[in-house]
């Protein structure tokens, strides 16, 4: 498992974390990050980690990792092992992974079965229930994996974080890979909804619109505040009440795609 520190079970004292080796050459860095990545993503991911930006990012992560800081999630590119770009129907773009122990699992906003929903995810469930009537899940059943299996690309603009330090890896270089992944989706997709939650995600809107025009891909772009309790109800674009789920479902139906948000 890529970069995983096998240190015990969910309720144990040891926390699974990302371990990034130092002292690798360019090809070894590429090999490290390509482990488990589906074929359609490999050229882009490999090129990113062969670039100066990707190598600098790896070096920063290795330094943080070898300073015995806990970095999450254990598998930052897990999403790329689950979905091919042509299978993506909805992109939900957030900010950075959860920074608490056992929370981030390499899928934006999702947590593994058995982990209680963090506040942002609780607000997502609240809006989902209000907007399209999906029942609130049990406290320990907060995984969004059913969405991923249906084609929801749960992506953050930054893919790693230090424990207890939100946005600690922002502007380290992950944003360059995020842009590349978004372009790959637009190039391969027949139709796609983009939900941009928060200012970090919305910075990518101009690129998304430009690529959609270049590749002639039908898209719907929806923007709101981040679902964090700090902003979920704040004007002028509160997350609670945004209606993104019903709007996306209706638009996809208009594209000839049946959709539901059931968990």
Q: Which residues are catalytic?
A: 96
Tokens of 32: 């490290």
Relative orientation angle of helices 205-215 and 174-188, to the nearest 10 degrees:
30
Q: Which residues lie closer than 8 Å to 218 by C-beta, 6 or more apart?
A: 190, 191, 192, 212, 255
Strand ranges (DSSP E) for 38-128? 71-72, 90-94
> Three-state SS for 85?
helix
CA distance 165 to 100: 9
> Three-state SS for 26?
helix
């Amino acid at each position: 498992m890529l970069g995983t520190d096998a240190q015990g079970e969910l309720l144990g004292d040891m926390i699974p974390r990302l371990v990034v080796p130092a002292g690798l050459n360019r090809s070894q860095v590429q090999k490290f990050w390509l482990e488990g990545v589906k074929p359609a993503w490999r050229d882009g991911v490999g090129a990113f980690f062969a670039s100066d930006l990707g190598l600098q990012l790896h070096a920063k992560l290795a330094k943080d990792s070898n300073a015995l800081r806990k970095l999450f999630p254990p598998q930052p590119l897990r999403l790329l092992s689950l979905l091919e770009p042509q299978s993506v129907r909805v992109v939900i773009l957030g900010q950075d992974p959860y920074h608490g122990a056992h929370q981030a699992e390499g899928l934006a906003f999702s947590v593994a079965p058995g982990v209680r929903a963090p506040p942002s995810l609780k607000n997502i469930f609240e809006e989902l229930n209000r907007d399209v009537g999906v029942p609130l899940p049990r406290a320990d059943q907060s995984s969004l994996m059913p969405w991923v299996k249906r084609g929801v690309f749960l992506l953050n603009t930054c893919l790693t974080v230090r424990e207890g330090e939100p946005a600690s890896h922002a502007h380290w270089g992950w944003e360059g890979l995020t842009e590349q992944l978004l372009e790959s989706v637009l190039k391969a997709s027949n139709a796609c909804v983009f939900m941009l939650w928060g200012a970090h995600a919305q910075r990518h809107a101009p690129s998304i619109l430009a690529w959609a025009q270049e590749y002639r891909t039908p898209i719907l772009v929806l923007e709101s505040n981040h679902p964090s309790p700090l902003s979920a109800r704040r004007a002028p674009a509160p997350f609670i009440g945004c209606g993104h789920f019903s709007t996306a479902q209706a638009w996809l139906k208009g594209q000839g795609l049946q959709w539901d948000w059931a968990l």
